[in-house]
Structure 1
Amino acid sequence: LVDFQKRKKPCRCATVFLGLLCAVLLAGNINYNNRNNKHPANPSKYLNTKRDKVQSSYDSLTAERKQLETRLSNLTKEKDDLQQSFSSATAERDEFKAGFNNLKNIRDRLQANYGTLKQQSDQLRTSYNDMQRNLEGLQIKHSNVTATKDRLQAKYSNLQRQKDELQTRFGTLIANRDQLQSNYSSLRRDKDQLQRSYNALSTSKNNIETSYNSLWKEKDQLQSRYNSLLRTKDRSQTNYSSLLADRDKLQDRIERLKLGWKKFDISCYFISTMKRNWTESRKSCKAQGTDLVVIESREEQVFVNGVLKKGQNAWIGLTDKQKEGTWMWVDDTPITTKFWQIGQPNSYSGNQDCAEIVQDTSVGEWNDDGCFAEQIWICEN
């Protein structure tokens, strides 16, 4: 971005301006020589010398124009590369969105399958409970049969004592006993059948439990993959937003250069043509989304001094309004490099709380002045 900004300079306008400037200087020099030396000793040699100088200036301007055209071509290529990167980021975002929709559909199908399996498990559990209750009922019947048998045994003892009187009923008792034995065998077979059914149900339940665990592990793997894709998509979105922000900043600086702003390093500077006090000057900068200039290095001081006219003063973003004697920049940073005039700041009459830059032939100097004074100002973006 810095290289792009450093190379972004006017091409044709600068070439035409330099050509006109050279022509004016040459014309003025010729008129001056004509006035002071109307009859040179060797007119032909004099004209050849002037022609060589003009040709040299033309060649220099032609070379500079070619360099500027080369820079313009490089800027065009960088713009195309940025456009291609933007298109690639857009396509990748669409792919991530399609993958997210597919994962969502898979999750919905797994949720439906899980509901079906849970319903089947509940039905099997209900059937098992019914069979368990039936088994308990059969066990109760068996206990009743055993008690009945004991009572019959007691009656048999009594009948044995009354054998002669109850001989006719003995056959009936024998038949009843045989029937009870048959019922007991039948109950025994039913119990064995119930035991086999229970074992089969237990095996089926274990198989269902195994399938459920497998599905749960698969769901965890899908969730992990989805989270990974989501993080990748967020990083891509962040990079895309950063590219958009850089593009907007670059476009803003290009527009400012077109409106007469001057560029140095990675910042742009605006030199006003009107005069206002320090407070109103800062308001004018803020209205353009900037602030009064903050000078952080000797190179920047030299640049700001160079854009002013000879002996011209201009407001900068330095003040000790908050605390007398403690000079702070408008971005609340302290001074790291100082360019005060000798004996400054002196807060003359106790009412000089704003700083100005005074143009000179070297790097320029600072002076404190009353914030109410009206003069031009310099904004920095």
Structure 2
Amino acid sequence: MSMEGRPNPGAPAEEKGGCPRLSPWAVLIPALIFKACITCGCLVILHKQSREAHRTLPETFPEWHCAQGMPGSKELVWTCCPMGWKAFQTSCYYFSSDVMSWDDSEKNCTAMGSHLVVINTKAEQDFLLKWVKEMLADLPVKMYYIGLTAQEVEGQWCWVDQTPYNKNEAFWKPGEPSDPILEPCTALQVNSKKQARENWNDLACFTDLYRICESAPTCI
């Protein structure tokens, strides 16, 4: 009898349709590896975003106070200020309990990732005035440095963050500034018995006063 056309008993049987069947592990293992890579990538991105979010203010602050939402924004984000700082609109504010010269005050604010406060609006001025009055206690007058100084040559007033000086949004006391050359630094002079919004006073920068620092809040 001819051997042609008879199957070889030692040869493996052919799969129907001519295609070999894949093991389930051949599909499952690459899928698990791919998923693990995606997960690791996401964790790296989230960690980087977290580090970036806290760049504005140092992470050395032990506690943070957070509130949901940013004024004027429809995004559901959390804005955070360090404990002990006051939040208003898009900034965090620190009111010191010790006194320093203007230069040392600015260095102290910078070391905390902020700068001496820059006042842009009546609303911001009123907010600062309110908090200073609450901290006056038994003191009739209290003075806080702000980030406004006069240039030595021209006597032109400048903010520490390069915000243009707007005389229409300046809140000088009557008769001030009196001497931008000899008194080139500025402070809030708050009287517990008066509600006057106009309370800026120019003075010599070596005077030891309290200070107000300002920084953008952390968003998470």
Aligned positions, number = 153
For structure 2, the residue ranges without an aligned partner over 5 or more in a row are 1-33, 66-80, 216-220
**Contact 1:291/1:380 (<8 A) preserved:** yes
1:255 aligns to 2:83 (yes or no): no
Q: 1:372 aligns with which of 178, 198, 206?
A: 206
Q: 2:52 aligns with which of 227, 245, 250?
A: 245
Aligned to 2:4: none
Q: 1:314 aligns with which of 144, 149, 166?
A: 144
Deviation at 1:354, TM superposition (A): 0.3
Larger Rg: 1
Q: State the alpha-carbon separation in 2 of the partners of residues 292 and 282 from structure 1.
A: 6
Residue deviations 1:199-237, cap 9 Å, x none? Answer: xxxxxxxxxxxxxxxxxxxxxxxxxxxxxxxxxxxxxx9
Q: State the alpha-carbon separation in 2 of the partners of residues 245 and 334 from structure 1.
A: 28
Deviation at 1:271, TM superposition (A): 0.9
Q: State the alpha-carbon separation in 2 of the partners of residues 97 and 259 from structure 1.
A: 33
**Contact 2:144/2:187 (<8 A) preserved:** yes
Amino acid at match of 1:94: C
Q: Structure 1 residues 366-375 or 249-258, which shifts more?
A: 249-258
Cα gap change, 1:371 to 1:94, in 2 (>3 Å): same
Deviation at 1:289, TM superposition (A): 1.6
Q: 2:111 aligns with which of 287, 306, 315?
A: 287
Q: State the alpha-carbon separation in 1 of the partners of residues 82 and 211 from structure 2.
A: 19
Deviation at 1:321, TM superposition (A): 3.2
Amino acid at match of 2:201: N
**Contact 1:302/1:364 (<8 A) preserved:** no
What TM-score do the two structures reach when normalised by structure 2?
Answer: 0.58
Amino acid at match of 2:90: I
Deviation at 1:328, TM superposition (A): 0.4
Query: Secondary structure of the residue that 1:284 maps to in structure 2?
Result: helix
1:356 aligns to 2:187 (yes or no): yes
Deviation at 1:353, TM superposition (A): 0.4
Query: Secondary structure of the residue that 1:312 maps to in structure 2?
Result: strand
Residue deviations 1:155-184, cap 9 Å, x none? Answer: xxxxxxxxxxxxxxxxxxxxxxxxxxxxxx
Deviation at 1:280, TM superposition (A): 1.1
1:335 aligns to 2:144 (yes or no): no
Instruction: Report which of the two has the higher share of helix.
Output: 1
- What is the correspondence of 1:156-175 to structure 2 with a 5 Å cutoff? none
**Contact 2:148/2:158 (<8 A) preserved:** yes
Q: 2:120 aligns with which of 292, 296, 310?
A: 296
Query: Secondary structure of the residue that 2:144 maps to in structure 1?
Result: strand
Amino acid at match of 2:85: W
Query: Secondary structure of the residue that 2:87 maps to in structure 1?
Result: strand
Aligned to 1:344: 176
Q: Structure 1 residues 278-287 or 358-367, which shifts more?
A: 358-367
Instruction: Report which of the two has the higher share of strand.
Output: 2
Deviation at 1:274, TM superposition (A): 1.1
**Contact 2:188/2:200 (<8 A) preserved:** yes
Amino acid at match of 2:37: D
What TM-score do the two structures reach when normalised by structure 1?
Answer: 0.35
For structure 1, the residue ranges without an aligned partner over 5 or more in a row are 1-90, 99-236
Cα gap change, 1:239 to 1:271, in 2 (>3 Å): same
Q: State the alpha-carbon separation in 2 of the partners of residues 251 and 93 from structure 1.
A: 32
> Which gives a bigger RCO, structure 1 or 2 (Cα 8 Å, sep 6+)?
2
Q: 2:101 aligns with which of 253, 265, 277?
A: 277
Q: State the alpha-carbon separation in 1 of the partners of residues 36 and 196 from structure 2.
A: 54
**Contact 1:301/1:364 (<8 A) preserved:** no
Q: State the alpha-carbon separation in 2 of the partners of residues 238 and 347 from structure 1.
A: 53
Aligned to 1:94: 37
Amino acid at match of 2:156: T
Deviation at 1:291, TM superposition (A): 1.0
